[in-house]
Amino acid sequence: MKLVVALGGNALQADGKPATAEAQLCTVKATVTHLADLIASGHQIVIVHGNGPQVGRLVLQNEYAKPVTPPMPFDVCGAMSQGLIGYHIQQALQEELKRRHIDKPVATLLTQVVVDPQDAGFQNPTKPIGPFYTQEEAEALKKEQGYILVEDSGRGYRRVVASPEPKRIVELATIQELVGHEQIVITVGGGGIPVVETENHTLAGVAAVIDKDLAAERLAEDLGADGLIILTAVEKVSLHYGKPEQQDLNQITVQEAERYITDGQFAAGSMLPKVRAGVKFVTSQPGRMAIITSLEKANEALTGKSGTRIVP
C-alpha cells in the first residue's frame, strides 16, 4: 500500500533525554527501524513529522541571542526545524535500509503550505510548541515574554501558537514526481512552513505552526494514498484518557468519532487533530484507511492486531 506516515514527537525526542542534536539522532535511529519494517513489508511510505519542541527551542534560542545577532522570524525557524529533523530522519533511515540491503533513495523536501490569513486559528492559538513548564515557570513567561501558555494533558504547561488549517501544499508536484519514482520522501515537516498568498500572487511566511496530522491528511488525499498512519505515544485512542474509567478503542466509526469530539473527549493539542485527520481522510473517498497507534505497533496495526482504526 501507499501510506502517509505521520510521526509524533516521541519518535524524535525521548522523554527524560536531553534536548540535544545527539540525543535526537539517537532516538530517530530507533524510530526508523519501525519505518524500515513497513518498507520491508512492501509498503511505499511518505513520511511527515512534527516539530513542536524543536521549533519552540529555536525560537527561544533566537530570543535569548538578540543581544548578539538578529532573531529569525517564526516561519524561518519552522524552515530550520524542517531541515534539521529531515536530515536526521533521512540519514538514519538510509543507514537502516543499507543495513537491510534495501536499495531505496531517501530525500527530504523543504515544503511550504498555504493557509488562509483569516483562519480562526489566528484568533485562538492552540498548537503547543517548545518544552513543558511548571505552573510557576509558565506564569513568569506570560509576564516576561507575553506568551500564551496552557496546561497540556496533565504533563505541564506549554506555549501555544496559531494553528491554521492547511489549504494547499506548494511543492506537491515535486512530491508526486519523487513518489512516482518510488523514492522515500520526508516532506511537509512540522505541518509545512505556513505561508499566505499575497495580492501580488506571491507567498509570504506567517507566524504559526500547522498541525502535522492535518497536513499529513492533506498530503495523503493529494497523493491518493491508501492509508494514513498516525503514530503517537499511545497504542490506542482512549475515552476518559488518564482517568480510572479510561476506555481504549479498537475501532471507531466516523459518527462515533464526531460524537466524541463534540463531547470533548480529545485534547486540542494532542489527540483531537489526529482523530479529525483520520475522519477527514476516510470520508474523502471510499476504501481509504486511517489508523492511530504507537510507533512500535505500526506493523501490527496494519493487520488489525493493534491501534485504533477509523472507519466510515
Catalytically active residues, by annotation: 9-10, 127, 212, 274
DSSP string, 87-111: HHHHHHHHHHHHHTT----EEE---
Which residue type is seen at 288?
R
- Edge-to-edge strands, sheet with 168-169: 168-169, 112-114, 193-197, 203-205
Closest CA to 127 of 150, 154, 155: 150
Whether residue 277 contacts residue 289, with contact meaning beta carbons closer than 8 Å, is answered with: no
Q: Which residue has the cell 505521520?
A: 6
Query: How many other CB atoms are found less than 10 A from the CB of residue 103?
Result: 7
Q: What is the Cα–Cα distance from 290 to 212, expressed in whole angstroms?
A: 15
Closest CA to 271 of 228, 220, 236: 236
> How open is the CA angle 18-33-17, to the nearest 5 degrees?
10
Whether residue 34 contacts residue 93, with contact meaning beta carbons closer than 8 Å, is answered with: no
Q: What is the Cα–Cα distance from 69 to 71, expressed in whole angstroms?
A: 6
Which residues have C-beta within 8 Å of that of residue 181, sequence separation ≥ 6?
Answer: none
Whether residue 210 contacts residue 219, with contact meaning beta carbons closer than 8 Å, is answered with: no
